[in-house]
Structure 1
Amino acid sequence: MSILLACDFDAAEWALWRPALQAAMPGERFVTSADAPDGIDVAIVANPPAGALAGLPRLRLIQSLWAGVERLLADASVPGDVPIARMVDPAMSAAMAETALWATLALHRGFFRYARLQQEARWAPHRQRRADEVTVAVLGLGQMGGAVAQRVADQGYRVLGWSTRPAALAGVETSAGEAALAPLLARADIALNLLPLTARTKGFFDARRLAGMKHGAGLVNLGRGAHVVEADLLAALDRGQLGHAVLDVFASEPLPPEHPFWRHPRVSVLPHVAAQTDPRTAAAVAAANVQALREGRPLAHRVDRVRGY
């Protein structure tokens, strides 16, 4: 059996990933082009080029190295009858929780405001609130969202969790469904977005939804750039409806140098680094699914193509 590696890695990334995959799956044969398509049973992918997974008659598993699979699902050349597994790595969830907690602390304590004041050489302390006086909404309670909600709640914040389907988390007030969303956002001082990107969540934060958020709230987008209508977010920041936005993902990446987010005083830009996939742990996750396939066991984290994640 050959395993096709269809990844858009540069030389430096391959230098990390290839040894990690080989160590996790010793004895497997890895190929980077489908020269012998009849022998390929598994494809391990990271943003594969369109058509890379077509014409593989024995393909039985597409294992993504990324958590998001919207690009795979949008590629009509990806065979519809082959299961796709997304990457769910505890190390990645922990990293996401760290970033979310940092952003929550910075918004809660006004550290972004103090950074602006430093540029003006202004000494202007403001009242310090306790964590239990701050309400944080976590949108999306999957593997990463659940880890984020738990981590933030452990620091003493009032955490409201929202998902499309009911979920339960210790120390988190959870709700589900469209009817619960507007009241939740109206209460939240900080909203952390970890929703999957689907047809239903594209443009999720538009002018209407931003207008319904608590005045002066902070928005932290750790999901996908397409969740936010960028022009609407800029307008909400300019008029003071939102106090600050921490953005890790964007409609166009890398973020173009001329984009207003770079220079907006109420925007903090991260270059899509909230939770990078760690080859050492992600390779083990991929290897476990390859072994499950060999043994006829259920695959972990199989994508529901109808739901989009």
Structure 2
Amino acid sequence: MTLNILFAARPERWSCYEAPLRKALESAGLDATLGMDLPPAEVDYIIYAPDSPLQDFSSYTRAKAVLSLWAGVEKITHNETLKIPLTRMVDPGLTTGMVEWVTGHVLRYHLDLDTDILRSDSRWEPRTPPLAHERNVTVFGLGALGTAVAQSLATLGFNVAGWSRSPKTLSGITCHSGHEGLKSALAHSEIGVLLLPDTSETANIVNATTLSLMPKGAYIINPGRGTLIDDTALLAALDEGQIAHATLDVFRREPLPSGHPYWAHPKVTVTPHIAAATRTSTAAENIIQNIVRGETGKSFLHLVNRDLGY
């Protein structure tokens, strides 16, 4: 039987994904019609981006799953017309990119590289940076990305802790969870990395209270979600010296407006949502792998828990 696979995303994504998806279908031996304009009642699978014009799934009566191209699915989890399984993107290329980006900025802060890179005077000021095992780093969020980042940093010798909503156990990582665990995790955060999902429970988790629980002069790295941070509270903590510097890759509104205080703040580094890009080749392989699983009676990988939002 020929499968009908709808690509429901913006046209510019189709131009990037069409060839990798067709290649992955051929490699998997699947006979499929793949396109952006298929009769809803005949669609078997929907490859999806949450910013797609498609928001009403009620007419897709034959579809077996919606397979998201994004790791973040908070824009679709509460869509009441979506009654079939929803999966999120867990891409090896994305994970590797996130690990490399976070590691680079952790090392930047750990070694105080900005002092020399941004130096504009002629002062000769030798210093001895601490060793990795003398630096406390906390990763907030221990999903696929957070776990990979935490384990990579631990391999480099950093004293790594992690925090998650529910208890986790990871070799070489001190894991905290829940409300009381959050306090311990914050106290450990000389460098704090935010990789939590966007949910009602994580919104503004970095606020005046939690910032005050971090060591004075701590650093914040946020490649997770813009909603995790109370921007006003962070700016105040930076001005007061409670937080030494923040590197921010994600924001409540993107692109970040030109007049936003983050752009001009001397203690903020803005990067344009580049921490972890999905690689079309590996993402396509993962999507088609899930379709194969669906066609062979196996459970889908990376299923989204609608109640939790991720």
Query: Normalising by structure 2, what TM-score?
Result: 0.93
Q: What do the CA deviations read for 1:159-181 (whole angstroms, capped 9, x no partner)?
A: 00111122122211112211111
Question: Partner residue of 1:115?
Answer: 117
Amino acid at match of 1:131: A
CA distance in 1, matches of 2:244, 2:58: 47
How big is the shift at 1:74? 4.4
CA contact (8 A) 2:161 2:188 kept: no
How big is the shift at 1:122? 5.1
Q: Secondary structure at the match of 1:25?
A: helix
Question: Partner residue of 2:32?
Answer: 28
**Could you say if the C-alpha distance between residues 270 and 121 of structure 1 is closer, same or farther in structure 2, counting changes exceeding 3 Å?**
farther
CA contact (8 A) 2:141 2:162 kept: yes
Give 5+ residue unaligned stretches, structure 2. none
Question: Partner residue of 2:43?
Answer: 40
Q: How many residues align?
A: 303
Once the two structures are superposed, the pairs formed by residues 72-151 of structure 1 within 5 Å of their partners are 72-76=76-80, 78-79=81-82, 81-118=83-120, 120=121, 123-151=124-152
CA distance in 2, matches of 1:273, 1:164: 26
Question: Partner residue of 1:14?
Answer: 14
CA distance in 1, matches of 2:122, 2:45: 58
How big is the shift at 1:115? 3.5
Cα RMSD between the aligned structures?
A: 1.6
Amino acid at match of 1:14: W
CA distance in 2, matches of 1:114, 1:132: 23
Q: What do the CA deviations read for 1:43-74 (whole angstroms, capped 9, x no partner)?
A: 10112225253421112200001100001124
Amino acid at match of 1:63: L
**Could you say if the C-alpha distance between residues 52 and 115 of structure 1 is closer, same or farther in structure 2, counting changes exceeding 3 Å?**
farther
CA contact (8 A) 2:47 2:69 kept: yes
CA contact (8 A) 1:138 1:191 kept: yes
Query: Normalising by structure 1, what TM-score?
Result: 0.93
Once the two structures are superposed, the pairs formed by residues 1-309 of structure 1 within 5 Å of their partners are 1-10=3-12, 13-26=13-26, 27-34=31-38, 36-47=39-50, 48-49=52-53, 51=55, 53-76=57-80, 78-79=81-82, 81-118=83-120, 120=121, 123-309=124-310
CA distance in 1, matches of 2:116, 2:183: 31
How big is the shift at 1:121? 5.5
CA distance in 2, matches of 1:125, 1:266: 23
**Could you say if the C-alpha distance between residues 273 and 128 of structure 1 is closer, same or farther in structure 2, counting changes exceeding 3 Å?**
same
CA distance in 1, matches of 2:123, 2:196: 38
How big is the shift at 1:123? 4.5
**Could you say if the C-alpha distance between residues 121 and 16 of structure 1 is closer, same or farther in structure 2, counting changes exceeding 3 Å?**
farther
Amino acid at match of 2:94: M
CA distance in 1, matches of 2:118, 2:209: 29
